[in-house]
Amino acid sequence: MSLATRCPVCATVFRVSREQLAARGGRVRCGKCGNVFDGVGGLLEEGRERRLVLEPSPQLGLFDPAHKAALSQVADDEVVAEFLAEPEPRSWRSIALWGLLALIAAAGLAAQVAYRYRTEIAVLAPNTRAALERACRVLRCEVALPRRPELMSIESSDLQADSRRENVIVLNAVIRNRAPFPQDYPALELTLTDETDRPVVRRVLRPGDYLDAGRRAALAQGIAPGAEAVLRVFLDSEHARATGYRLYLFYPK
């Protein structure tokens, strides 16, 4: 039994067969206006089909001289008013492969983020520090303590001459960690100034320079949250005639 379908653009009705509709998912190109439409969706009811004047099948429109000039400009694979093939669905293997590749890419990105922000991760999630340190032993890196100078302050300091030794000065200072997490010991810059506040001697003291031997072993633990570090350092004044000093902390880059 023949069927009829109607183009939704130009309303032309064509005869089609079930085989044609089943061949390529029902997609058909109108032989009159060239519109591609769903032939199944455009099927007409049997009663209405009798009252309509049917046009030939779209395939027969190829032999209409009126369409010959227009069809000559169409590529060979588009000349026949054909039912369009639906794209072949992806197989489950292809989907699984793309899913695996996406997981690998996500894991690689997560590893890069963990490596770059390992210090911050160890602070925000202390239970991850052990795993990060094990990974760093393999990658030859370290999980350093945080360095937030804005959360570190010099609570007090003074500079005095050593009465027992000439040209030796004694620096006393108290450094406080105001962060809610442990921090690395900072470096200190001491500047001796003259009467006009001009610098005459400048010294940079690393943690290994101002910590005594007993506390150097605990250098890796840093200064605990809210804790203070009391410093006492003996320095050579280099025969400078200094009347004042400036002291501030920083973290070297």
Whether residue 138 has pLDDT greater than 60: yes
Whether the model clears a pTM of 0.75, i.e. scores above it, the answer is no
The H-or-E segment that residue 230 falls in is strand 228-236
- CB neighbour list of residue 89: distance below 8 Å, 6 or more residues apart: none
- The band of 188, judged by pLDDT with boundaries at 50, 70 and 90, is very high
Closest CA to 157 of 176, 177, 178, 171: 171
- Distance between CA atoms of residues 44 and 76, nearest Å: 31
Q: Which CATH number fits domain 149-250: 1.10.3470, 1.10.20, 1.10.10, 2.60.40?
A: 2.60.40
Positive/negative CA dihedral, 222, 228, 234, 238 = positive
Angle between helices 92-116 and 129-139 (to 10 degrees): 90
pLDDT tens for 62-114 read 444 444 444 444 333 333 744 444 455 667 888 888 888 898 998 888 888 87
Residues 208-241 have pLDDT tens digits of 888 887 777 778 788 999 999 999 999 988 888 8
User: In the chain, what are the domain boundaries?
Assistant: 3-79, 92-139, 149-250
Query: Residue 185: its pLDDT value, please?
Result: 94
Across the chain, what does the average pLDDT equal? Answer: 79
